Amino acid sequence: MQAYEFIEGYEQVIDRFGRWPSFHDGEVLRIILDRSLRLPGGPSIPSVEVYLRGWIMGPELADDGRYTLHNDSVIHFLFEDISAFELEGFNQQNVVTSLNLELSGEPQGGANVLHVEFEHCYQFCCAFIARRAKVVDLRPYAEQPASLA
């Protein structure tokens, strides 16, 4: 199993981009931390929502001299039951070198967990472990609400 296959709905990303993208030079537009979900009579289940802009960069140049971006989109991820959360350098431009995913089993033979790293490019970086993950939504960047554009 590829690590991205741990993410429920990963097929939407494959369908949009033709493959799982590296998200090189992608940008984290929004992060929402939430601990309000609770198990009945139990502890909170922390989650993080990430809105990540990504594309496939083409070899051709646009009129302005920049490489053409194909399928420019925003993917809304939800990661649940997170731990070991680290965030650094959130700023006006949260560009990442890549989105790194790795699966590993929990100690004592438990279920797989997903190690998530938004590798830094310009100050911003973020890493955590999630027990569940899913693609909530995927839309062309041009169709995003003004608050995300």
pTM here?
Answer: 0.89
Q: What is the DSSP string of 36-75?
A: --B-TTS-B--EEEEEEEEEEEEEEE-TTSSEEEEEEEEE
Q: Which residues of 74-88 are buried (b: 16+ CB within 10 A; e: fewer)?
A: bbbbbbbbbeeeeee
Please tell me the predicted confidence (pLDDT) of residue 137.
Answer: 97
pLDDT tens by residue, 24-45: 999 999 999 999 877 777 788 8
Which pLDDT score, from 0 to 100, does residue 108 have? 59
Q: What is the residue-averaged pLDDT of the chain?
A: 90
Has residue 122 got a pLDDT over 90?
A: no
- What per-residue confidence (pLDDT) applies to 149? 60
pLDDT in tens, 43-93: 888 999 999 999 988 888 888 888 888 899 999 999 999 999 999 999 999
Q: Contact at 8 Å (CB) between 38 and 44? A: yes
How much of the chain exceeds pLDDT 70, in percent? 94
| Stretch among 19-23, 110-114, 138-142 having the lowest mean pLDDT | 110-114
